Chains A and B, each alone.
Chain A
Amino acid sequence: MKIVACVKQVPDTEAEVKWDIPGGKLKRDAMDCVTNAFDEYAIEEALLTRENHDGEIVAISMGPEKAMDVLRNCLALTVNEVKLCTDAAFEGSDTFATASVLAAAIKKVGDVDIVYCGKQSTDGNTGVVGAALASILGWSQLTYVSKIRSIDGAGKKIVVERAIEGGTEVVEAKLPAVVSVLKGINEPRLPNLMGIRKASKMEIPQWNAADLGVDTGKVGTAGASTKVVEIAVPPPRGAGEILKGEIEDMANTLTDKLIDLKVIK
């Protein structure tokens, strides 16, 4: 079985955000970066699938050269291969362009059965790249997956649970499939020291637009259909009121104020 895990390098949520304001994008190089939290579940699910069904894992990331760090972490976690899709022309890509580049990379890997992605990134928060990827490839689109029930590699079938509004949907789908996973699907493991040491010496293969056969006019800033026109800091919430007095009095005041909102019936 051939498994792909898509991973993204994102700014650490604790780090100071640095913008290139006129360019409408992030200064990614100037920020502390980590593996997108949701992608850790995607990598772990790929590892679990390999343990249960054999096969090999290729971890793919699109990003600047610095994104090598997240792929090195994948190697430390013992994925078989990594590919960094990097090209100046990819910079400023929107959701469709990003999915197009990843789709090209997945096709180049060839004979892939399952692609795992995280539900969304913690920087752009779009949560649509997995679905767009499935649509471009014409593969099964399995989003919000909270559990893999079974995978039948020979019969080319997968059964998953999707945690959606109001409950859990059990879906059977054809392989190949793009599966985007939620927090809670597994407990991501940490790399061990030997893995880290080994990974630190490995080369990270890179694919540029030409390697992938991607039309540079259709990706990056040139191809993006959405353009950033403004970046702003939302107005702070008005100063709140800290209630004073005995608990009895504070509870009395608070319940009055909340009942006055006419929301509680």
Chain B
Amino acid sequence: MANDVWVYIEHKEGAVTPMSFELLGIGKTLADGFGSNLCAFVVGEGIDAIAKEAGTYGASKVFAVDAGVFKGFRADAYAKATAFLFDKYKPEVALFRATSQGTDIAAAAAAQLGSGICSDAIGLAVDGGKLKMTKAAFGGNYTVTVVNEKSQPQIATVRPKAFAMPEQDASKSAEVVKESFVVDEASLNTKVLEFIKSAVAINLVEADIIVSGGRGLGNAEGFDLLKELAEVIGGGVGASRAAVDSGWITVDQQVGQTGKTVKPKIYIACGISGAIQHLAGMRTSDCIVAINKDPDAPIFKAATFGIVGDYKQVVPKLIEKFKGKLGK
């Protein structure tokens, strides 16, 4: 029988969001496929509450490495704790979210175990006792499926929102296993001096709604209109490379091959032609709306709904209609 399926629960100095637990959904499906158990693991300081909460999302066992040296996230410290757990319990599969934290630990822990990983997986399935991991390549024009027959655990980072959130059930609980593993502060290479919170409130990668602008906006002021629409419908503001390179908006809002990969439920592209590099970052969005003057713009081929027209006329109308219908 296969060993257990493990899911890493990420947090920021003890703070979690429901998204921290999202991989327990697909984790359960895989554990059922292997006929094994779903386990979670947490590294940090004072993480009892997080460990318990993982139980309510379906983990049957939670492994917790709890010590002062793990207070803030540091890749080297967390990866050492992770490699220790993997070595001791030999899970079959270990899943991390493909966030900065998840990628940092997964990459470093895998390297310590001498294995490769599948990163940014968008498909995971158990087939004939093997885990098949699918990822997008070349801007999502291809998908590549890999198996890992050599290393244990088989490690994957998983694109945020690629799989459905598990239901939370307060009546469920997990057995919490505490591990007394520590690393010596002197052996660590890094120290976090401070964290400066972003002025942009919405994290595009987790956003359900994104209003995005491209070269077709014509100037930086175009984004003021997009921000207004985003505010009315509770979304974040994104941009194409052309808009970022024109200096109209900051690079942390760029969506696409050299920016962020997003998967909102609604993506509204204004004045974006739909170059392959932009599509790479948003083509898996649930509903794509394209607003563009050029009826031949490639974005219309990816769109769920399209409006051929000038965003300067269309967007204010959308704002007006939404305000009326939503009672804002």
Interface range on chain A: under 10, 10 to 19, 20 to 34, or 35 or more?
35 or more
| Inter-chain contact A13/B257, CB cutoff 8 Å | yes
Chain B residue with minimal CB distance to A240? B303
A255, CB-defined interface residue at 8 Å = yes
A86, CB-defined interface residue at 8 Å = no
Question: Which residues between 180 and 214 of chain B lie within 8 Å of chain A, taking CB atoms?
Answer: 189-198, 203, 205-206, 208-209
Secondary structure dominating the interface of B: mixed
Chain A residue with minimal CB distance to B130? A229
Please tell me which one of the listed residues A141, A243, A257 contacts residue B190 in the complex, with CB atoms under 8 A apart.
A141
- On chain A, the residues within 8 Å of B157 by CB distance are 128
| Inter-chain contact B116/A261, CB cutoff 8 Å | no
Chain B residue with minimal CB distance to A224? B116
Interface range on chain B: under 10, 10 to 19, 20 to 34, or 35 or more?
35 or more
- On chain B, the residues within 8 Å of A174 by CB distance are 189-190
| Inter-chain contact B107/A132, CB cutoff 8 Å | yes
Please tell me which one of the listed residues A96, A242, A251 contacts residue B318 in the complex, with CB atoms under 8 A apart.
A251
| Inter-chain contact B287/A259, CB cutoff 8 Å | no
- On chain A, the residues within 8 Å of B206 by CB distance are 165
- On chain B, the residues within 8 Å of A250 by CB distance are 307, 309, 314
A194, CB-defined interface residue at 8 Å = no
Chain B residue with minimal CB distance to A143? B104
| Inter-chain contact B189/A255, CB cutoff 8 Å | no
| Inter-chain contact B192/A169, CB cutoff 8 Å | yes
Chain A residue with minimal CB distance to B118? A226
| Inter-chain contact B149/A227, CB cutoff 8 Å | yes
Q: Could you tell me the distance between the alpha carbons of A96 and B257 in the complex, rounded to whole angstroms?
A: 23
A190, CB-defined interface residue at 8 Å = no
User: Which of B12, B138, B290 has the most CB atoms of chain A within a 10 A radius of its CB?
Assistant: B138
On B, residues with C-beta under 8 Å from A are 12, 75-76, 79, 99-101, 103-104, 106-112, 114-120, 132-151, 157, 189-198, 203, 205-206, 208-209, 233-234, 250-252, 254, 257-259, 265-266, 276-277, 283, 286-290, 295, 300-309, 313-314, 317-318, 320-322, 325-326
6 closest A-B pairs by beta carbon, nearest first, are A94-B116, A131-B107, A184-B251, A128-B107, A251-B317, A135-B111
